[in-house]
Amino acid sequence: MRKVIIDCDTGIDDALALLLALRSPDLNVLGITCVNGNVTLDKVVINTLKVVDHSGKPAPVYAGVSAPLLPEKSENAPHIHGTDGLGDLSFPEPKSHVERENAIAFIIRILMDSDLPMDWISLGPLTNIALAIREEPKIISKVRLLTMMAGAVDFGNTRPMSEFNVFADPEAAKIVFDSDLPKMMVPLDPLWHGGQINRTEIEQIETAADKPWCDMAAKLIKQTIEMAEGSRRKYSMGEGAVAPPDLLTVAIAINPSIGQFENYQVFVETTGEYTRGMTVIDRRWNRNYSENTNRNQMAVCLSADQKKYSELILRTLLS
């Protein structure tokens, strides 16, 4: 099992992703760190504890940063995830409790104490990660790979050019993207190119509702489908299909062969009037000959193998 830490802003898609990670026989989740994002930090922490309870797999949860690096720019997304962040579905209050240690301190401690480089998965704004590498740059050498649900190649979902996780704290994203961390970026684009689960697969999860993690997943998926009704997602993905971006990100972290990648330099725009939070992908033919070739270099997922993806989800959740 690969040791991993997960950073998240638990809304609906984060919850599905955490269930997959916690139930995976391939990952040993050493800790889950919470950050302000889809909803405020206090709600993120509660939601994460609820997911851990439903997963049947204990994992420590740590509270991190409650605002982006520029607090006046803070923006949440209750209109997407519900006022509580989990679709207002009234899941039971958590039985587990948040750890006393701060998320940044935990990240630095667990990485510095590790004998071998560890995996790191980011499902929310990159504030915790940026502050951790700023406080202790030595942790960079302790990371095997940072897999990020971040950015977009051709479009945005929060602003025309910006994906939410990057837009929510572009200054933090820039620190992370500009760092020497080995990075894999899962943007919005593959969601429309194989990164969805279809009605038949969803029905199999629903029939396993006797398992608490499947019951939670089925309810969250149903809520996602209802919210997607009338949007263009319905027509591009198929009736009843869903494509939670964080779920795909964790699946790819478990099995990278699910994704099809290209190596690009990726930059974060922080000052543009219309492009704040945009991930600028350098796809020029001569990009390999530019100065500082390794700067901002990362594997960018462009599409996904839907069959492999759905098989991994069903095998993990139904076993």
Joined tokens for residue 271 = 């000052």
If you average pLDDT over residues 51-61, what whole number do you get? 97
pTM of the model as a whole:
0.94
pLDDT at 81: 87
Pairing of strands 118-122, 143-149: parallel
Provide the sign of the torsion angle of the four alpha carbons 254, 256, 258, 261, taken in this order. Answer: positive
pLDDT at 160: 82
Fold category of 2-318 in CATH:
Inosine-uridine Nucleoside N-ribohydrolase; Chain A (3.90.245)
Q: Rounded to whole angstroms, how far apart are CA atoms 185 and 149?
A: 6
Give the DSSP letter string of the chain: -EEEEEEE--SHHHHHHHHHHHH-TTEEEEEEEE-SSSS-HHHHHHHHHHHHHHHTS---EEE--SS-SSGGG----HHHH-TTSSTT--PPPPSS---SS-HHHHHHHHHHT-SS-EEEEE-S-SHHHHHHHHH-GGGGGGEEEEEEE---SS--SSBTTB-HHHHT-HHHHHHHHTSS--EEEE-SGGGGTT--B-HHHHHHHHTTTTSHHHHHHHHHHHHHHHHHTTSHHHHHH-TT-B--HHHHHHHHHH-GGGEEEEEEEEEE--S-TTTTT-EEEE--TTGGGSSSTTTTEEEEEEEE-HHHHHHHHHHHHH-
Q: Rounded to whole angstroms, how far apart are CA atoms 23 and 29?
A: 10
Is a pLDDT exceeding 80 seen at residue 60? yes
Q: Rounded to whole angstroms, how far apart are CA atoms 65 and 76?
A: 14
pLDDT at 250: 98
pLDDT at 234: 47
| pLDDT bucket at 278, cuts 50 / 70 / 90 | very high
Q: What is the mean pLDDT of the chain?
A: 92
pLDDT at 3: 97
pLDDT at 238: 63
Do 126 and 150 touch, CB atoms closer than 8 A?
A: yes
Is a pLDDT exceeding 60 seen at residue 313? yes
pLDDT at 198: 93
Please give the backbone phi and psi of residue 241, each rounded to the nearest 5 degrees, phi first. Answer: -90, 150
Pairing of strands 279-282, 259-268: antiparallel
Q: Rounded to whole angstroms, how far apart are CA atoms 233 and 319?
A: 30
Do 260 and 301 touch, CB atoms closer than 8 A?
A: yes
Model confidence pLDDT, tens digit, residues 143-165: 999 999 999 999 888 888 899 99
Is a pLDDT exceeding 90 seen at residue 80? no
Say which amino acid occupies 233: R
Q: How far is CA 66 from CA 36, 55, 103, in A?
A: 5, 25, 11
Q: At what angle do helices 199-206 and 212-228 cross, to 10 degrees?
A: 140
Q: Where are the domains of the chain?
A: 2-318
Model confidence pLDDT, tens digit, residues 15-44: 999 999 999 999 999 999 999 999 999 999
The terminus-to-terminus CA distance of the chain in angstroms comes to 17
If you average pLDDT over residues 76-83, what whole number do you get? 86
